[in-house]
Amino acid sequence: MQTQANMQQNTPYELIVVGGGPAGLAAANAAWQAGLRRVLIVERDRELGGILNQCIHNGFGLHRFGDQLTGPEYAERYENMVAETGVEVALDTMVLSVEPATAPALDVGEKPLHHVHLISQAEGYRVLATQTIVLAMGCRERTRGAIGIPGTRPAGVYTAGAAQRYINMEGYLVGKRAIILGSGDIGLIMARRMTLEGAKVAAVVELMPYSGGLSRNIVQCLDDFGIPLLLAHTIVDIRGHRRVEQVVVAEVGPDNKPVAGTEQTFDVDTVLLSVGLLPENELTRQANIPLDPRTRGAVVFEDMQTQVPGIFACGNVVQVHDLVDFVSQEAELAGAAAAAYVQSTDSTESISVVELTPGEGVSYVLPQRIRVRDGQTTSVSFRVRKPMGRSQICLSAGDTEIKTFRRQRMAPGEMEHVKLRGADLALYAGGTLRLSAQEMGE
């Protein structure tokens, strides 16, 4: 690995990776292993590793390494792999925009060049040319403003991820008595973290009648510490002058509106918001790369290529993952595909495509487009809309059932995967297939 090296503005890269989190690291490493030799990772932070650096709990890497690692330990494994390569790394460097190629390649066998605009204190503003780009910018948290909680605006309201960074990286405990809105994984993990640091967590409040987090996190972060989970509840008022003093919580009805007369008041000094993550796609949007309104990430083919040839995307910027192991897997696919794109002389334009859309009970599917090749297996990720017991997942074309899969249980907080074989899709090339999920009853 070379840091801030060799960045000659006139020598095009084979691959520039935007973001040095687990997705960016795995993509760059895979591209190097597949034979690319001019690869650059651009990371705006002062270190590689992305969000993993602040996740000091364990539970990372079970699928990937068969080991229970902390976030920094997991990141370190990939940083070490990248360090063994000649991949260049630009830290403290922000990508300002991505400019897809507009002109065809000058020479036969060459690829048209995309441009990446970046800025850093050390090197100023630069524009680098590259044959491929992997977008791996991760995601960010929704903030209080995005969901509009009523009440005054005292200090003491944080997003759960910001609080996690303060506690785990800056050594600053954000409050002594907290309430957490949202039972996604970050909210659950922060309930345990605050408790371990000596704070009292009054409750985790969740609008939906079920938690948005992994089951293991509900057990290990709430049940083990006696922290109540108030399902179908929300915060209806935050009170306080300079600092949060009280929070009012009420039950919600089936229409998600607060039910009058069910209010409970908690004396707390801190509110943590864990109300969802949004893929960080400003660069993607500015580059006019088509986005899927359901995932809020780029529309991708089975190899994680976006709808702009030579630009790939992976990790949380494409779909919000709950397990980093699947981020690495997806990123390795993207990195290897970027290498194959650089090395290939054939166009994929003539290969037939099937479109994949979510049907009943499914909120999104990824990839949205599959190029049908014999002998190829595509792993499709999706999430269900509500918790389900014994259920059937069905791939269909109109009224024709193509393939079914069974599950004992599924929940929106846990990403699901099914594998589709090229042979099963070949008959439907050029058409649209639907993936749906239904509870089967006893």
Ligand X SMILES: Cc1cc2nc3c(=O)[nH]c(=O)nc-3n(C[C@H](O)[C@H](O)[C@H](O)COP(=O)(O)OP(=O)(O)OC[C@H]3O[C@@H](n4cnc5c(N)ncnc54)[C@H](O)[C@@H]3O)c2cc1C
**Under the criterion CB under 6 A, does residue 43 sit at the interface with ligand X?**
yes
Which of 55, 178, 356, 388 is in the footprint of ligand X by CB under 6 A? 55
DSSP string across 36-62: ---EEEE-SSSSSSGGGGG--SEEE-H
Q: How many whole angstroms separate alpha carbon 213 and alpha carbon 309? A: 35
Beta bridge partners of 392: 406, 438
For residue 345, which phi and psi values (nearest 5 degrees)? -110, -10
Which of 16, 327, 433, 435 is in the footprint of ligand X by CB under 6 A? 327
**Under the criterion CB under 6 A, does residue 23 sit at the interface with ligand X?**
yes
Least distance in Å: CB of 385 to ligand X? Answer: 21
**Beta strands 369-371 and 93-99: pairing type?**
unpaired
**Under the criterion CB under 6 A, does residue 211 sit at the interface with ligand X?**
no
x-or-dash string of contact with ligand X, 171-190, rule CB under 6 A: --------------xx--x-
Tell me the three state secondary structure of residue 321. coil
Beta carbon nearer to ligand X, 199 or 236: 199
Q: Stretches 37-45, 238-246, 247-255, 347-355: which one binds ligand X (CB under 6 A)?
A: 37-45
Taking CB positions, which residue lies at the least distance from ligand X?
Answer: 21
144 touches 167 (CB < 8 A): no
**Under the criterion CB under 6 A, does residue 358 sit at the interface with ligand X?**
no
Least distance in Å: CB of 374 to ligand X? Answer: 32
Closest CA to 208 of 347, 413, 17: 413
Which of 164, 295, 378, 381 is in the footprint of ligand X by CB under 6 A? 164
**Under the criterion CB under 6 A, does residue 206 sit at the interface with ligand X?**
no
Which of 212, 213, 315, 387 is in the footprint of ligand X by CB under 6 A? 315
Q: How many whole angstroms separate alpha carbon 174 and alpha carbon 170? A: 11
Q: Stretches 16-24, 106-114, 166-174, 248-256: which one binds ligand X (CB under 6 A)?
A: 16-24
Beta bridge partners of 45: none
- Positions 290 through 309 that interact with ligand X (CB under 6 A): none
**Under the criterion CB under 6 A, does residue 316 sit at the interface with ligand X?**
yes
DSSP string across 166-215: IIIII-----SEEEEE--SHHHHHHHHHHHHTT-EEEEEEESSSS-SS-H
DSSP string across 330-367: HHHHHHHHHHHHHH--S-STTS-EEEEEE-TTEEEEE-
x-or-dash string of contact with ligand X, 93-132, rule CB under 6 A: -xx-------------------------------------
Q: Stretches 41-49, 144-152, 223-231, 349-357: which one binds ligand X (CB under 6 A)?
A: 41-49
Q: Which residues bind ligand X (CB under 6 A)?
A: 18-24, 42-45, 50-52, 55, 59-60, 94-95, 136-138, 161, 164, 185-186, 189, 280, 283, 315-317, 321, 323-325, 327
